[in-house]
């Protein structure tokens, strides 16, 4: 039994059946072997929506601060807030994926193919484990390398180097207009 439900009459039937007065079957009206698990999609959907609202609130706060004349890139508390909110988008995507995939069980294609029938017979558990281990190793190398590279770029800061005209065999610079940027007195 739902407590404190917010109801909009007939909206559910309109969304599900495209009719204002169609009947919607409850979960217990389906055979037990055709019911999806309820708890996981229920909570993952709420996590996804809550994160979306948090991110929306931070974006609105940033706009309000900007419009009030604040320089948000100098507000330490706002920068810290953005730092904490940044990974929430990834968590929301995972929660949405869980909602979608678990919520449609036990069907891969509703009414046509059950999840148990869509498993590849030639794919063994050890094949999946080896593939997963390979992906884990690759990402454990790629991710820290990318982070280290980006951190090095940030540590070095912007470069203000003079642009050198690299001449190629034809006597022209390798990129259009580079010659003019280096020596403005030279004609193109």
- Does residue 28 belong to any structural domain of this protein? no
- pLDDT value of residue 7: 82
- Does residue 24 belong to any structural domain of this protein? no
- Mind listing the pLDDT tens digit of every residue in the chain (188 residues)? 678 888 888 888 888 888 988 888 888 888 888 888 899 999 999 999 999 999 999 999 999 999 999 888 889 999 999 999 999 999 999 999 999 999 888 888 878 888 888 888 888 889 999 999 999 999 999 999 999 999 999 998 887 665 555 555 666 655 665 555 555 555 55
Domain residues for the domain of 171 are 162-188
Is the domain of 76 the same as that of 91? yes
- pLDDT value of residue 181: 54
- Does residue 20 belong to any structural domain of this protein? no
* Non-local CB neighbours of 10 within 8 Å, separated by 6+ positions: 20, 21
For residue 111, how far is the Cα from the chain centroid? 30
- Does residue 149 belong to any structural domain of this protein? yes
- Does residue 146 belong to any structural domain of this protein? yes
Is the domain of 59 the same as that of 74? yes
- pLDDT value of residue 135: 96
Domain boundary among 119, 149, 177: 119
- Does residue 26 belong to any structural domain of this protein? no
Closest CA to 177 of 161, 156, 163: 163
- pLDDT value of residue 25: 83
Structural domain count, the chain: 3
Is the domain of 71 the same as that of 47? yes
- Does residue 16 belong to any structural domain of this protein? no
Is the domain of 113 the same as that of 45? yes
Is the domain of 136 the same as that of 175? no
Cα dihedral 175/181/187/188 (nearest 10): 20
């Amino acid at each position: 039994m739902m407590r404190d439900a917010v109801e909009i009459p007939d909206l559910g039937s309109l969304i599900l059946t495209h009719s204002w007065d169609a009947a919607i079957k409850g979960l217990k009206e389906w055979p037990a072997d055709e019911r999806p698990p309820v708890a996981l999609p229920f909570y993952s959907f709420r996590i996804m929506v809550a994160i979306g609202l948090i991110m929306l609130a931070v974006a609105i706060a940033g706009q309000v601060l900007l419009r009030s004349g604040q320089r948000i890139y100098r507000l330490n508390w706002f920068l810290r807030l953005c730092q904490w909110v940044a990974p929430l988008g990834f968590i929301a995507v995972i929660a949405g994926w869980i909602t979608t995939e678990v919520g449609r069980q036990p069907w891969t294609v509703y009414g046509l193919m059950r999840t148990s029938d869509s498993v590849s017979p030639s794919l063994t558990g050890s094949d999946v484990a080896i593939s997963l281990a390979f992906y884990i190793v690759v990402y454990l190398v790629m991710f820290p390398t990318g982070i280290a590279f980006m951190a090095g770029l940030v540590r070095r800061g912007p470069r203000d180097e003079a642009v050198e005209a690299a001449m190629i065999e034809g006597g022209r610079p390798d990129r259009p207009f580079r010659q003019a940027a280096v020596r403005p007195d030279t004609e193109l």
